[in-house]
Amino acid sequence: MFTDLLIILACSLLIIALFRRLSLPAVLGYLCVGLLVGPAALDWISSSKDLPHLAELGVVFLLFTLGLEFSLPRMLALRNTVFGLGSAQVALCGAALGGALWLSGIAPTTAALLGLGLALSSTAIVGKELVSLGEVFSDHGQNAMGVLLLQDLVAVMLLTLVPTLAGGNEAPWYWSIPWTLGKALLLFFGLLLASRWLLPKLFHEVAQAHSAELFVMLALVIVLLTAWLTHLLGLSMALGAFLAGMLLGESHYRHQIEADIRPFRDILLGLFFVSVGMLIDLRLFAEQGLNIALITLLLLSIKGGLVALIVRLRGDSGETAWRTGLALAQAGEFFFALVALMRQHALLDPQVAGLLLAAAFCSMALTPLLLRAAPRLAAHLRRAPSAESQLEEISSRSAELHDHTVICGYGRVGQSIGRFLQREGQAFIALDDDPVRVEEASAGENNVHFGDSRRRDLLIAVGIARARLLVIAVDKTDIALAIITEARQQCPQLQILVRTRDDSRLAELQAAGANEVVPELLESSLMLASHALVMLGIPQSQVQAHLDEVRSNRYRLLHGFYHGAQANLLSAQGQERRLLHAVNLPDEAHACGHCANELGLEELGLEIQAVRRDGIDLPLEGRPALHPGDTVLLSGPLQAIEAGEARLLSGD
């Protein structure tokens, strides 16, 4: 078991890193790891009985964290989705897929079971992708999660039906299904009582102890305990974990619990996807590739089309319908367990089982790509039919604007700037690529439009050549650079103000043509420092003079920071942060007797922030010669600082 885990984790490390570089979902990487190390390919993993149980815990942790995002009132509000849409989806998709399998020559009972199994979708993949895309609370996200909840109950019932249909001694299905529902209700009300009376007191006591270890242990115990209780009742462990998370979602500790168990969830969920990939025989793709592709296409088309039709008939919008269908079109991880159980009871031919498992795997592998492409497709469909008319509309609205302001990015920062401009009676027009935000803003304003600010035709349409100021309020530096380049080509004299998070790429933005760059972190530091000085009794005029000096010097005083043991040396964009480092000059230092400006430190990408002697800052304008015991304060990236320190001390 230890060797298997080591191989899986080592291979996952390499494959996931590669997939990140290729901007592919990590889920696909884990599935590929399972394909490669499984018995059908490299055969590095032995048949371990513990690995599937360990992998199943990943789904348990995922459902628990999803439950934390839901509240009991929200769950009650979703009852029409869970039992209405969910029941219709399972019934119609199960009947259609079962009928297709029966027409292909499979026995009626087996076809019905397989059809219902294929009607169920992947809770692990859909849940993980909806969370990563931030779409859990969207209309299609709510539909998908509600349907998946009912599917979890149906999955338990199907597992009880297989032995019965195979001729076992268990109770008949008309007793098994009500018994399963009764146990689910018993579990729900038991967890409800515990979440109301017991768990808040436990979390309060642990929080009073101020021990991170205790909090993590309590969160893990709750997840594993609810899964164990559900397993004892013969239900899905994932269902119990979701109910527990949903009830704990009402507590004040929800966010802390979610943060504590996230690392466990991600690793165990990765093991689950690896175990799914190991079930596939690669030789089938070479021998039956065309049949597998055809079955996969039929599965995605039938399920996706029927779900979209049902959602549309419920009264939802067309976009919500097709995005819900896209989310639920794949087969689920439960189907693998169902096929394995049916083979044990001799209800399914091995060759047919292999084809269906391969098609189910392909549908699951395609789902993350489809879900990630859906937002771009939705945005394209919103604007594609009327792209020309949209440009004409924007052009007509901005035709009479002169000396106005163009705002690229209408998030929190862009909206704040817009409010100040409105207050001063200054005309502006804004562009943003978030359709929901634009739709909300357009309800109260007629000068906010949807579009990618990097597009030349859009910049022309908003009258960039007649504008007095361009404000770039997007939070991605690469996009800001592209907008600056395009704007400079259209209007070389235009004033450009850029907002950025930090100063990691300040020089690059200025070189591209930005007149002013305002780093949020540095400005917030300036504001805090100014308030501190005023509260200490320093005159407001003197404080303002200091602020003006710092801004006029392009925040030179604030460049870099002393990093600690836990500091991240890369910015959110992957750029090296500018750090501060003090170099003390001993008697034999190479720099002693030289002026700091003569040592070529600027060539290394460094700034000399200060030279201190006996605790006093020397004026750099006087080009002081360095003495033993002086401290040179350097600012720059880590590698440049290391090279600068070597040059100061040894001349290298």
What pLDDT digit, counting tens, does each position of 145-173 carry?
A: 889 878 877 876 776 566 656 555 456 65
- pLDDT for the residue 388: 55
- pLDDT for the residue 229: 84
Give CA separation, 51 vs 13, 61, 316, in Å. 18, 16, 42
- pLDDT for the residue 93: 94
Is residue 101 located within the same domain as residue 202? yes
Residue where a domain stops, chosen among 461, 484, 514:
514
CATH number at residue 110: 1.20.1530.20
Q: Which two tokens stand for residue 164?
A: 């019965």
Is residue 332 located within the same domain as residue 356? yes
Give the C-alpha separation, 15 to 28, whole Å.
Answer: 10
Q: Is the pLDDT of residue 561 over 60?
A: no
- The domain total for the chain is 3
Say whether 601 sits in a helix, a strand or coil: coil
Can you give the C-alpha Rg of the chain in angstroms?
Answer: 31
Between CA 351 and CA 358, with CA 353 as vertex, the angle to 5 degrees is 100
Q: Please check whether residue 335 lies inside any domain of the structure.
A: yes
Q: Please check whether residue 608 lies inside any domain of the structure.
A: yes
Is residue 412 located within the same domain as residue 304? no
* Weakest mean pLDDT among 256-270, 280-294, 549-563: 549-563
CATH number at residue 641: 3.30.70.1450
Is residue 228 located within the same domain as residue 310? yes
Is residue 186 located within the same domain as residue 276? yes
Say whether 447 sits in a helix, a strand or coil: coil
CA-wise closest residue to 89 among 115, 62, 127: 115
- Mention every residue, 6+ apart, whose C-beta is less than 8 A from residue 210: none
Q: Is the dihedral of CA 382, 384, 389, 394 positive or negative?
A: positive
Q: Please check whether residue 548 lies inside any domain of the structure.
A: no
Q: Is the pLDDT of residue 41 over 90?
A: no
Given a contact cutoff of 8 angstroms between Cβ atoms, the answer to whether 579 and 637 are in contact is yes
For the segment 604-626, the average pLDDT, to the nearest whole number, is 82
Is residue 422 located within the same domain as residue 355? no
Q: Please check whether residue 574 lies inside any domain of the structure.
A: no
Is residue 479 located within the same domain as residue 628? no
Q: Which two tokens stand for residue 303?
A: 């399920």
Give the C-alpha separation, 568 to 269, whole Å.
Answer: 26
Instruction: For residue 408, list its beta bridge partners.
Output: 431, 472
CA-wise closest residue to 54 among 257, 264, 229, 259: 264
Q: Is the pLDDT of residue 573 over 80?
A: no
Is residue 337 located within the same domain as residue 438? no
Q: Where are the alpha helices (DSSP H) in 536-620?
A: 540-552
Q: Please check whether residue 429 lies inside any domain of the structure.
A: yes
Give the C-alpha separation, 100 to 115, whole Å.
Answer: 8
DSSP letters of 128-162? HHHHHHT-TTSHHHHHHHHHHHHHHHHHHHHHHHH
Instruction: For residue 617, list its beta bridge partners.
Output: 612
**Number of C-alpha atoms within 13 angstroms, CB side, residue 450?**
18
At how many degrees (to 10) do helices 318-327 and 289-313 cross?
A: 140
Is residue 51 located within the same domain as residue 111? yes
User: Confidence band (pLDDT; 50, 70, 90) for 76?
Assistant: low
Residue where a domain stops, chosen among 493, 514, 535:
514
Note down the domain range covering 428. Answer: 387-514
Q: Please check whether residue 572 lies inside any domain of the structure.
A: no
User: Confidence band (pLDDT; 50, 70, 90) for 250?
Assistant: low
CATH number at residue 429: 3.40.50.720
Q: How many CB atoms lie within 10 A of CB 503?
A: 23
Q: How many CB atoms lie within 10 A of CB 41?
A: 16
Q: Please check whether residue 369 lies inside any domain of the structure.
A: yes
What pLDDT digit, counting tens, does each position of 380-413 carry?
A: 665 544 455 567 778 877 888 888 999 998 888 8
CA-wise closest residue to 610 among 620, 600, 601: 620
Is residue 593 located within the same domain as residue 501? no
- Of residues 218 and 304, which shows the higher confidence score? 304
Give the C-alpha separation, 445 to 415, whole Å.
Answer: 11
Greatest mean pLDDT among 23-32, 193-202, 560-569, 642-651 lies in 642-651
Place of tokens 């990590």: 26
Is residue 456 located within the same domain as residue 329? no
User: Confidence band (pLDDT; 50, 70, 90) for 50?
Assistant: low
For the segment 436-452, the average pLDDT, to the nearest whole number, is 73
Q: Please check whether residue 564 lies inside any domain of the structure.
A: no
Residue where a domain stops, chosen among 492, 514, 536:
514
- pLDDT for the residue 169: 47
- Of residues 571 and 581, which shows the higher confidence score? 581
Q: Is the pLDDT of residue 143 over 80?
A: yes
Give the C-alpha separation, 307 to 148, whole Å.
Answer: 12
Is residue 430 located within the same domain as residue 347? no
- Distance between first and last Cα of the chain: 52
User: Confidence band (pLDDT; 50, 70, 90) for 550?
Assistant: confident
What pLDDT digit, counting tens, does each position of 450-494 carry?
A: 888 888 888 888 899 899 999 998 888 888 999 999 999 888 889
